[in-house]
Structure 1
Amino acid sequence: MLKDKNVAIIFTASILGGHELMSVAHIKKFVKKGFSISCYLPSDNQKLIDLLNATGIDYELHHVHHKRMEIIHSFFNPLHLIKSSLLLKKISLSHDYMVIIQGDIELGAGFLNSGRLLGVGNRVVSYIPYAHSFETMGSRLAKVKDFLARFTYKSCSNYVTICNQFRHELKAKNKTADVRVLRNFVAKPVRKDIRGIGYEFVTDPARVKILMAGRVFFRQKGQDILLEALRGINTNVDLTVIGDGPDLDEMKNNANRLGSNIRVEFLGWKSNVWDFAYDVDFIVIPSSYEGVPLIMLEALKRKVPVIAPARDGMLDYLSKDSLYFIDDGESEVDKLREKIKLFIVERVD
């Protein structure tokens, strides 16, 4: 679809998350294959700017910044819509396609709506990891956002997503759209980093070591669920937390109220999580919603066990041994605690 075309990649988020990292990884591969790609980065995303500087990818900065309630701004804030339209129109003059990097339908919604208004919607491509409703994501004003999202999904006729489950969901939201799957990938680790091949892992019978890595954002990533689940564990546990985010301080406060058998270490944001994972028993991904988490793919490559809920992209990659299933009315905390206890028993058998 995009081979032999001039392609603009427009990043929209103010953070550097898994979807942005995956986008950069794909860009590097496509550039090596000879694709003509130009990148446009929000001027307020310093981590993304630093990443592209480190990887040698050329870019220009733009000033269409993410706003709270952005999907509402994309319909009712003329200034935001004008800024989105002016940038998209400028880029469209020299590019055949404009790919909008959307962590969800809200991020960059102004570009999708602008594409329709400018008459270039057939040249706008949304690269989006999932199509969860705002109600599922626990967003403020979810009903309003979900109503507006119905129109935003229809403003774009070309989607790229990350697994078949989300392809079906996008087709349900826009039956006429062309939806393609571009799977997430991670680099193959060097042999010395693969458990059981490059090094031998020996569990400590006196302590369980758990890794939780990712943006500290309770509403999506569920670190609060993990801490509550650990509250009911009697075994000695060392939990290592890698990442930062809006709920970091609250997580630290919650951790201080755990029993003396639970020790939590906060390492902040790290560029290479796996430098700190050689001796962990397993990693936990307690997310309330996800796409296809890169941390999960990396763990699988390294043969590090994973615990995660049976939803979203986890269903495509993890076996039943790794998943905990939650029926309507059941407690996520209780189901995660049960799974952790099972792992603790099985690791020493």
Structure 2
Amino acid sequence: MVIDILSPVGGRCGGIENVIRAWTKNLPRELYDVRVIHMSSGIKYLEGYDRAYAFDACEEVDINARLTHFTRNYAGFINLYGKPDICVAVNWPAMCVVADAVKRLLKLDFRIVSWVHSSIDEYEQSGFGSVREMLMADAHICISRSNERRIKELCPDAVTYYVGNPVNMQEFIEKPIDNNTLCYVGRLQDVKRVDVILEALYRARHKWKFKIVGSGESEDELKEIAAYLKQQDQVQFLGWKDSPWEYCKDASALVCASEYEGFMLTGAEALSMGMTVISTPVDGVIDYVRHGENGYFFKNEDAIGLAHLLDEIYEGKVKLYDRIDCRKSVEMYNIDNYFDNIKRILEDMR
């Protein structure tokens, strides 16, 4: 079975790239020929994988012109390398339109599956398509229940599969060495709102240690904020790490303040280590973090509320959750379970 993963952008270092790389490693090559096609440069994350392709970036600003450009690119790719059995349109909902246009243009028969890796609403607000464009697909792989609901609201008969994301179950830490350490793992972007966490740490009466593992365009600004708040001895910026959890073994909890997420793989990985997760109640996260069972939610941008929660945890008024229960809460997403599910979906689509 030939499977194309068709992306409108180049790959970087992050959640979606980790999942695509997992597809290339966990779907048996003798059964699944997975071709990863990016519409701009960025296949370094698949270094060594011989079925990764990238086109030169499109300079067009208009979304329709870009989609037309993508259509020409993908049609040319198929003419050169042959048609897929299934085209998985990732990221933008509008990529389903590209796949459908190529299918019609070349008069070919293949199945189209949407696989949106963040909130559909966020893509729609950015002008990259909505559920209406996604309905060009024959079926939909959903990483959040929220995305699945959005599709079903517009088309109750749509074929949807909720899968979440594959979780590399991390080494279980029965008890951290230091109970007063928190961590954040991920990209440093404005939408991640790590600044809210820094403000909460400043407002809290008790001084938690805070490890930040990751890099991104907001890194310098966050370092300036931490310096202004005199948090040099409290906050560590560790940068991007290939094995980030090795640096978080002494952390009691993962803290996230995102404005939105697709699935937030790092939250599930933290739970697999036995950590409590403290997060804003965004789509994807609410599928596996349950307030009062394996984590806590605080309102978006609510640094005061987060500070109060951290003080109550520090003082023992609010508990950190049983580490074994935290791990069990994400077992359904472990690599083996996830890919058993993906294989069933692909066979359904054959």
Q: CA deviation at 1:41?
A: 4.3
User: Matches of 1:180 and 1:348 in 2, distance apart?
Assistant: 36
The 5-angstrom pairing of residues 158-197 of structure 1 reads 158-189=139-170, 193-196=171-174
Secondary structure at the counterpart of residue 215 of structure 2: coil
> Does residue 58 in structure 1 map to residue 53 in structure 2?
no
Q: How much is the aligned-residue C-alpha RMSD, in angstroms?
A: 3.3
Query: 1:241/1:320 Cα in 2 relative to 1: closer, same or farther (>3 Å)?
Result: same
- 336, 341, 346: which is aligned to 2:311? 341
- 223, 234, 258: which is aligned to 1:252? 223
Query: 1:49/1:32 Cα in 2 relative to 1: closer, same or farther (>3 Å)?
Result: closer
* Aligned residue number for residue 215 of structure 1: 187
User: Matches of 2:317 and 2:44 in 1, distance apart?
Assistant: 38
- Contact kept? 1:242, 1:267, Cα under 8 Å: yes
The 5-angstrom pairing of residues 1-349 of structure 1 reads 5-14=1-10, 15-31=12-28, 34-41=31-38, 44-50=41-47, 53=48, 57-63=49-55, 65=57, 72-73=62-63, 75-77=64-66, 80-87=69-76, 89-90=78-79, 93-102=82-91, 104-105=92-93, 108=95, 111-112=98-99, 114-115=101-102, 118=105, 123-134=111-122, 142=125, 145=127, 148-149=129-130, 151-189=132-170, 193-196=171-174, 200-203=175-178, 208-219=180-191, 221-260=192-231, 263-321=234-292, 322-326=295-299, 331-346=301-316
Query: 1:34/1:254 Cα in 2 relative to 1: closer, same or farther (>3 Å)?
Result: same
- Contact kept? 1:31, 1:37, Cα under 8 Å: no
User: Matches of 2:270 and 2:233 in 1, distance apart?
Assistant: 23
Secondary structure at the counterpart of residue 169 of structure 1: helix
- Contact kept? 1:222, 1:288, Cα under 8 Å: yes
Secondary structure at the counterpart of residue 246 of structure 1: coil
Secondary structure at the counterpart of residue 210 of structure 2: strand
Q: Which amino acid aligns with 2:22?
A: A
> Identity of paired residues, percent?
20
User: Matches of 1:229 and 1:301 in 2, distance apart?
Assistant: 25
- Contact kept? 1:7, 1:97, Cα under 8 Å: yes
User: Matches of 1:281 and 1:320 in 2, distance apart?
Assistant: 16
Q: CA deviation at 1:303?
A: 0.4
Number of residue equivalences = 315
- 171-180 vs 309-318, greater mean Cα deviation: 171-180
Q: CA deviation at 1:323?
A: 2.0
Q: Deviations along 1:189-237, whole A, 9 cap, x unmatched?
A: 3xxx3121xxx42436xxx322111011112x12122122222123223
Q: CA deviation at 1:324?
A: 1.8
Query: 1:149/1:17 Cα in 2 relative to 1: closer, same or farther (>3 Å)?
Result: same
- Contact kept? 1:115, 1:121, Cα under 8 Å: no
- Contact kept? 1:308, 1:324, Cα under 8 Å: yes
Secondary structure at the counterpart of residue 16 of structure 1: coil
- Contact kept? 1:244, 1:268, Cα under 8 Å: yes
Q: Deviations along 1:101-130, whole A, 9 cap, x unmatched?
A: 32x536x46634634763669622222234
Q: Which amino acid aligns with 2:150?
A: E
Q: Deviations along 1:148-167, whole A, 9 cap, x unmatched?
A: 53542333332111233321
- 286-295 vs 149-158, greater mean Cα deviation: 149-158
User: Matches of 2:42 and 2:203 in 1, distance apart?
Assistant: 39
Query: 1:333/1:109 Cα in 2 relative to 1: closer, same or farther (>3 Å)?
Result: farther
- Contact kept? 2:279, 2:298, Cα under 8 Å: no
Q: Deviations along 1:285-314, whole A, 9 cap, x unmatched?
A: 211111222111111111022111223222
Q: CA deviation at 1:270?
A: 0.7
User: Matches of 2:305 and 2:53 in 1, distance apart?
Assistant: 45
Q: Which amino acid aligns with 1:284?
A: V
User: Matches of 2:304 and 2:59 in 1, distance apart?
Assistant: 36
User: Matches of 1:291 and 1:47 in 2, distance apart?
Assistant: 23
Q: Deviations along 1:56-94, whole A, 9 cap, x unmatched?
A: x4313221647796xx42x14476245445346437843
State the TM-score, normalizing by the size of structure 1.
0.77
State the TM-score, normalizing by the size of structure 2.
0.77
User: Matches of 2:43 and 2:110 in 1, distance apart?
Assistant: 31
- Contact kept? 2:67, 2:98, Cα under 8 Å: no
Secondary structure at the counterpart of residue 27 of structure 2: helix
Query: 1:154/1:91 Cα in 2 relative to 1: closer, same or farther (>3 Å)?
Result: farther
Query: 1:48/1:174 Cα in 2 relative to 1: closer, same or farther (>3 Å)?
Result: farther
Secondary structure at the counterpart of residue 225 of structure 1: helix
